[in-house]
Amino acid sequence: MPRSSVELTGTTSRTLVLATLENRVHRNFCSSCGTVVLTEFDVEPDNVSVKACSLDDPSWVTPNFHLYITRKQPWLKLNDGLPQFAGDFGMIVRRTQWCTTIAVSYGESSAT
C-alpha cells in the first residue's frame, strides 16, 4: 500500500535483511511484543507491506497477489486467479493496484 497512507503510532524496531545485493528489505517490529508490523522494500520505496496478522481485524484485507509461491506447502492450492510470483516485490509489475488507506497503532491494545 502507499507509504503515505500508513501511520504508525507506538515504538517499532527496525532490522535490515539482504534478500539479494540489489534488494534490501527492512522489517519493522513492535518493540513491545516483537510482531512484524511493516515491511519496506528498497525496490518499491513508495509502498510498504502491512502484515495482516498484526491487525486486530484483518477480515477487511483482500490480497492483490501471492508472493513466494515456490515456498508454499504442497497442500495449498492457489486457485483464486490472482497473480503469483516466485519471489518478492522485485518481480512485481509496477502497475499492481495497492490498497487505499490504513492507520495502525502498535504497542497498544488495538489497531484501527
Task: Write out pLDDT tens, residues 3-35.
Answer: 888 888 788 888 877 766 667 888 888 888 888
Residue 102 has pLDDT above 60, yes or no: no
Q: Which of 63, 64, 69 is nearest to 88 (CA)?
A: 69
- Dump pLDDT digits (tens) for 76-87: 999 999 988 887
Q: Which three cell numbers stand for residue 32?
A: 513491545
d(Cα 29, Cα 37) in Å, to the nearest integer?
6
